[in-house]
Structure 1
């Protein structure tokens, strides 16, 4: 997830672009760059560009002595790497002979396009997918001699997700743009300036209204004019008023970043899957498939929410890939003097990539000669650099301390690893593999929050502000989900909550059940429904207050959240996950807590 900004006008271009990127820095933080095209000397258009690795302040230092007077066009980018490590060469904007491009998204067919262009004599310098866009544009413009037609034909060749801005000496007063599956907004100021951005915030103060482009829209902008096309037809779009407050814009109208991130899960799930499923197969090009050779065990090591993702995945590794899976708490593993199996694949999971306990556990595994794989959200983090083999979850920056979208993308990524191993080891037949992939591709749709659900949970939440605690219960993969539901609630509400395997209730915890104890029961239709139902009946018989999540009506419930009927257990998993996140959110808001910054917690736990 990256952020892009574009500007056409007479203000200091550098300042506009850097100001916009500052508002978008939450979308990308490993490198940044900008390109400015002006005609300062009256001798033809000239493009100046700057790139820097790391935080945006590094780009600000690089451009400290640069100025651009008068009319010009400019584009900027803050990067969160998906192809190629964070280096200046891989940073945007990418350039050809006379054009520059910024891009948010993933070009799935970039390898095919790159191979074609290389056969035509085009030279590439970066490891990114984005570079093919500018080279394809210039290649097509050789024959078309019309930059707009060349751009239109370039966009038609792209498969994947993209928000694209191109500036070129072939049209020095214009910006070419296109949008598919990732956000792009365009506004016009009272002075006829044109401003592009990935979100509202950079436009506020420069424009009063903007057009939120839809998928498949593309076009060309110049001072005072934006032409938008869809399916090769010029269309008219109605601008919408921009919010007046930048902080509101960053949260996009949500009360808290955590709330926004819950609603982003459908989009980031799509980005997690993007390019990793091809021709009904799992395709993990980022890692060396040889790490799966001669292994007889998966060891998953993590802390907190990431531990719950690991625990959920352990069921899938054994059930689908038919390989033994162990789950380790990193803070315990590092001090246990563990006996390690040389034929293990050691998988570490971390949102930040800086989790101290997990990093130390990874060092132990590396020193013991084990093959290692990291599942992480932050490229160039300590864990990513050490692990060697890495799958990025692509959740984007998660500002809420209590993890939501990072957990969802971790589980999705691990599920893909399971299926990848099953393909290699041939422990899954074609029909089952196709069924699993179909279920995977359905998850972004499952993560769309249905009308009325949030309001129902908001009304329901007022019943759960008192009492002496919560039990979250489930079986199979819904046991780790119960653990995660309890963790979310305790993190941000400060109420006592525990997750249990449903079958363990009668082995001790049921002694606590009375009318002041709330039980949140996960009753999926596809996994051990009758078994779990009988456990919930035992709680109801002891006057426990029961909130049930299920697609099937349960008459003993005091509260009931009806989920949709799904064909796959993982679809039920993700649907219930969203409901549990919203429940924790709404209870916490009613208690008056700072949901994004709960007491005593930090986003990246870099100490023991």
Structure 2
């Protein structure tokens, strides 16, 4: 959610901080602010509710001096509404200290009561200001920002990333994290802190991920990391594998449109190096899959839909029982976990708090953990026994597209690796499936060529108030994803159902003119299932619905009953979803665009949900 940037180096803090905030806008936010220590050693802060442009306008109207030390923040409101007063940074020590915060401090009420009793005053409704005032109090007592941090973090409960500067200690930024992301950018004569490498990748591609319960101090020529007790901590530097240009629109009208067109590349790059001589090859999973007798996928939102597809594929190929659970429900239902249980977390950012806590829960109870993730050095892979990285590149639009197809690809590779290990598919069978998977990017390109027709359909339906999506077998998760994309982007009622469930209640929603998308399985894959879906189409068409079918090229059985057919190339049953979801991504994008909505940053949503 919130974006955080810290900088120490040359006299260009505002340039770096505002540029960093621009690059993490995709995380979702409703206010922004900066704090800078000027060359004379005076702290200046500015903050505004609204988009980053509002803050930039305020800084043009009322400039603050630049400097070599500063912190910045984009806030997604939790405690207190999106107002100027609730925006970050918050101040302590009579305005000499500034602090920004990502996360939720669960015991802020008790701490605030304590500080009020001591005569401290507060200007906001936030939990963050409590941390700032507490830090200021401890600074006065200890005379050191680092030592004040140690005293404060030991008293905070919940999830937090904190960055702070004090005008009496120019030239350093101090940060701390617990259950919330923080990354160091290593420069030359300058160093960076951020919630996401995107904030500093235009300046350096050398990074270090801060571990759980650690404090970091950056100066222009040094970086120090310790645990909360002050003991030196080991760090693992890594190179960011993409550059700043990869996170730019590159001439596209939106990041989402750019990222949909990158669906084929995301699949191809996730396969790269993992298929060797016709068979799957993933040494990163060595030892993790031995003796696995049950699998849980834990995820939320779009990632959970990818997990649902994994249930079908892995049970079919590897003959292992598989369940998919919403990460936020997983640990509260006390699932049965054993040493033979593999808990597979799926997260684009690797920082989704619900998923992170599910992974920690699984490890504490003796299960094995595997992360499917798109972000190097993030928290969830570091907490897991192994990581299977997707290679979708930076995904900036809040609504996930290319990360989703990359996650499905990684899950299918996992399923084939398990099948090889367990001997449930022959080498020839695995090779045939891999050939089909490797053909998906080229077929996706064919689907992308239908964009113009889908755009026409979406603009025709711009006044639509509700849309239903139906699918059977692997088409059901695609229906769920299509509905989610429409809710996220177009703000209209959309629901996905298993087509067989139609007669058990949802058919009551069918009324004349309502659009219904139906994901039609190939008649070559399962003729009986295909017939049943055609029957479902006839049922809803008879009640006046407008049917938009997503069906393979040449499926003539659909033509008499569908008002529109969006064709996809021929593919095996498990690979159809990778193709069928692309028109639904395009449709959601175009319908939202027709309504004049922001497709990259939908209202109330954040790219990375880092609070529970």
Per the normalisation by structure 1, the TM-score is 0.61
Q: Which position in structure 2 is the counterpart of 1:562? A: 567
Which aligned pairs between 1:204-603 and structure 2 lie closer than 5 A? 250-287=248-285, 289-450=286-447, 452-525=449-522, 526-527=525-526, 528-551=529-552, 552-553=555-556, 554-566=559-571, 568-603=572-607
Q: How far off its partner does 1:76 sit?
A: 8.9
What CA distance in whole angstroms lies between the structure 1 residues aligned with 2:578 and 2:273? Answer: 21
Cα deviation, residue 450, structure 1: 4.6
Q: Which position in structure 2 is the counterpart of 1:59? A: 187
**What aligned pairs does 1:15-54 form with structure 2 within 5 A after superposition?**
none
Counterpart Cα distance in 2 of 1:539 and 1:490? 22
Partners in 1 of 2:435 and 2:587 — Cα distance? Answer: 29
Q: String of CA shifts for 1:408-460, please: whole Å, max 9, x gaps.
A: 11000000000000000000012211101101211221222557411101111
Q: Which runs of 5+ in 1 are unaligned?
A: 1-13, 27-52, 65-74, 88-125, 131-161, 163-181, 183-196, 202-249
Does the Cα contact within 8 Å between 1:286 and 1:389 map onto a contact in 2? yes
Bigger relative CO (Cα 8 Å, ≥ 6 apart):
2
Taking the aligned partners of 1:370 and 1:268, their CA distance within structure 2 comes to 30
Shift of residue 56 of structure 1?
8.0
Structure 1: distance between partners of 2:206 and 2:485: 27
In the alignment, is the contact (CA less than 8 A) between 1:263 and 1:449 conserved in 2? no
SS in 2 for 1:315: helix
Deviations 1:23-82 (Å, cap 9, x if unpaired)?
9978xxxxxxxxxxxxxxxxxxxxxxxxxx986864265389xxxxxxxxxx9985499x
Contact 1:514–1:545, Cα closer than 8 Å, also in 2: no
**Superposition deviation, residue 128 in structure 1:** 8.8
Aligned length: 405
Q: 1:63–1:433: structure 2 CA closer, same or farther, 3 Å change rule?
A: closer
CA 1:450–1:306 in structure 2 vs 1: closer, same or farther (change >3 Å)?
closer
Q: What is the CA-CA distance between 1:514 and the residue it aligns to?
A: 1.1
Indicate the SS of the match to 2:346. strand
CA distance in 2, matches of 1:358, 1:392: 16
Contact 1:547 1:557 in 2 (8 A): yes
Change (3 A) 1:542 1:426: same
Distance 1:63 1:384 in 2: 24
Q: Output aligned runs, 1:21-170, within 5 Å.
A: 58-59=186-187, 61-62=189-190, 78-79=204-205
Match of 1:227 in 2: none
Deviation at 1:353, TM superposition (A): 1.0
In the alignment, the residues of structure 1 paired with residue 245 and residue 603 of structure 2 have an alpha-carbon distance, to the nearest angstrom, of 29
SS in 2 for 1:378: coil
Distance apart, 1:345 and its partner CA:
0.7
SS in structure 1 of the partner of residue 344 of structure 2: strand
Classify 1:252/1:23 alpha carbon distance in 2 versus 1 (closer, same or farther; 3 Å): farther
Distance 1:60 1:264 in 2: 33
Q: Distance in 1 between matches of 2:391 and 2:587?
A: 25
Shift of 1:341: 3.5
2:261, 2:448 within 8 Å by CA — same for their partners in 1? no
Deviations 1:357-413 (A, max 9, x none): 111111111000111101111122111111121011111111100000111110000
Please tell me whether the aligned partners of residues 466 and 492 of structure 2 are also in contact (alpha carbons under 8 angstroms): yes
Aligned to 2:130: none
Q: Distance in 1 between matches of 2:21 and 2:277?
A: 38
Judged with a 3 Å threshold, the aligned counterparts in structure 2 of structure 1 residues 495 and 61 are, in CA distance, closer, same or farther, namely farther
* CA shift in 2, pair 1:366/1:198, >3 Å: closer
Contact 2:469 2:480 in 1 (8 A): yes
